[in-house]
Chains A and B, each alone.
Chain A
Amino acid sequence: MRRVTPDTIAIVDLGVCDRCGLCLPLCPPEAIHLELNILTVDDAACTGCEKCIAPCPVGALAMVAYA
């Protein structure tokens, strides 16, 4: 998939994340994974579209610069 923003990606704060899984079906490139109770964002697949950021009920996802 084409990058939506050229130089940012989503990252999760596992100290805040409740593992509810809400963000997984929102991710167009299916870059978010939840396995063995750990949420991860595949930085190679994330397009920076930000669709996962606002819906997180606890604000556990944020955009960061990706070099």
Chain B
Amino acid sequence: MPDVDVLVVGAGPAGAVAAWHAKLAAPELDVVLLERDRAVGAPVRCAEGVGDAGLREFANPDGADWVSRRITDVIFEAPDDTQIVLAECGIGWILDRSRFDAHLAAQAAAAGAEVLVGAEATGMSRNGAERWHVRVKERGREEVYRARVVIGADGVETMVGRWAGLDTRVPSRDMESCAQYVLQGIDFNPDAIYLQFSNAIAPGGYAWIFPKAVGIANVGLGIVALKTDGRNARQYLDDWIARRFPNGARTGYTVGGVIVHTTIKKTYTDGVLVAGDAAHMINPLSGGGINNAMKAGRLAGCTAAAAVRENDTSERRLARYHQTWMEVLGEDHLKYYRIKQALEHMDDAFLNSLARTVNKIAADKRTIGRVFTHALMRHPQLIPVAARFFV
């Protein structure tokens, strides 16, 4: 029965960074990082887009082998395919998640954490003891790890949170059902990401084209099931691709859920922290979660390490993790969530007219801020949206 100080469940961006930074903060601790799948980073359930500034806090993308493409432009598309090219939208990256996640896990290992692949946590209990007893299945054997702090970075399923008694359930309206193909041999601007908003194409979400190389892209969409006409995400995607890229070769396929909610009410309890998708730490407007997950992972790893050192892994001590997260990003997500709710009422006819209005701004002056103020002037029904944002 191995004893560890910090046991991290899930080796995605949140978990790998948590293990890495726990070791950096307290090198003397025993830190173990568990990955259920046979390889870190696989299968990829992600559109792989990430902003430059957040990424650089953790890894340098310049020349890195875990990058697929540098992105300089954002193109919004209305339901009728009217395009709005944004100016000054900043730099972004399309990652190769299978390599990126492995890179982060290697950082954790280089810092001294033990990384176990093909190791699945299947349950845990505490029973008043000082340590959590976590059952782990690995190559047909079951072992019980005794951990002072368990960090749940187990993604949308968020079983660690559930086992620890936290409420991690998601209302149906806040679950995006996503499907995506890797398409090859298609024509698009390889320096731009495309986001198309339309209730007919992707109700409650959007459709995307994220370039991985010239002629190759992640092409997918997310929908909210409550708003659909009965088709599932894959059927919506097949219909969109049949229209946009009928000749694209489908060389990859994935599905998954993106939780567009706000951070769970409580991300901690005695000896447990939950981070990343597992704690619903996703930007509810964009659906982006990678940088959020890494920031939360760093915070969780450092908090866990300090708590073990102080020999106090109580709920009261670990609550600082939640407070800091809410100050850093959680409060912003509450604002974004309010905007999301306001935007839900825009129909396709309105989105088409908005696109035409916004395109009257000169291309080099078409920043997101100007787009927003222009839209407000011409479409007073958007004022409540702005009001919610600044509340």
Chain A 26-67 interface 0/1 with B at a Cβ cutoff of 8 Å (1 = within): 111010001110000000000000010011111100000000
For residue B68, CB closer than 8 A to chain A, the reply is no
Given contacts A18-B255, A22-B256, A25-B158, contact A55 B172 (CB under 8 A): yes
Given contacts A21-B257, A36-B137, A57-B179, contact A26 B234 (CB under 8 A): no
Collect the chain A residues with CB atoms within 8 Å of residue B386's CB: none
Interface-located stretch among B162-170, B322-330, B354-362, B363-371: B162-170
CA distance A22 to B157 in the complex (A): 7
Collect the chain B residues with CB atoms within 8 Å of residue A36's CB: 120, 137
For residue B175, CB closer than 8 A to chain A, the reply is yes
CA distance A26 to B156 in the complex (A): 10
Contact of B232 among A21, A34, A57 (CB under 8 A): A57
For residue A20, CB closer than 8 A to chain B, the reply is yes
Q: Is the CB of A35 within 8 A of B234?
A: no
Tell me the interface secondary structure of chain A in the complex: loop
Question: Across the two chains, which residue of chain A brings its CB closest to B253?
Answer: A18
CA distance A22 to B337 in the complex (A): 20
Collect the chain B residues with CB atoms within 8 Å of residue A56's CB: 177, 232
CA distance A58 to B232 in the complex (A): 6
B282–chain A nearest beta-carbon distance, Å? 12
For residue A12, CB closer than 8 A to chain B, the reply is no
Q: Is the CB of B170 within 8 A of A57?
A: no
Question: Across the two chains, which residue of chain A brings its CB closest to B37?
Answer: A37
For residue B259, CB closer than 8 A to chain A, the reply is yes
Q: Is the CB of A55 within 8 A of B257?
A: yes
Collect the chain A residues with CB atoms within 8 Å of residue B256's CB: 18, 20-22, 57
Q: For the complex, count residues of B whose C-beta is within 8 A of A.
A: 31
Q: Is the CB of A25 within 8 A of B168?
A: yes
Collect the chain B residues with CB atoms within 8 Å of residue A18's CB: 254-256
Collect the chain A residues with CB atoms within 8 Å of residue B157's CB: 21, 24-25, 34
Question: Across the two chains, which residue of chain B brings its CB closest to A28?
Answer: B169
Collect the chain A residues with CB atoms within 8 Å of residue B156's CB: 20-22, 24-25
Q: Is the CB of B177 within 8 A of A22?
A: yes
Q: Is the CB of B226 within 8 A of A54?
A: yes
Question: Across the two chains, which residue of chain A brings its CB closest to B180?
Answer: A57
A38–chain B nearest beta-carbon distance, Å? 11
Q: Is the CB of A55 within 8 A of B45?
A: no
Kindly identify, within residues 135 to 171 of chain B, every residue whose CB is under 8 Å from any CB belonging to chain A. Answer: 137, 155-159, 162, 168-170
CA distance A24 to B179 in the complex (A): 17
CA distance A26 to B168 in the complex (A): 9
Apart from the given pairs A35-B120, A55-B175, A55-B177, 5 other A-B contacts in the complex at a CB distance below 8 Å:
A21-B157, A22-B256, A24-B158, A26-B175, A55-B225
CB-based closest 7 A-B pairs: A22-B257, A54-B225, A57-B233, A57-B255, A21-B157, A55-B225, A20-B256
| B interface with A by C-beta (< 8 Å) | 45, 120, 122, 137, 155-159, 162, 168-170, 172, 175, 177-179, 225-226, 228, 230, 232-235, 254-257, 259
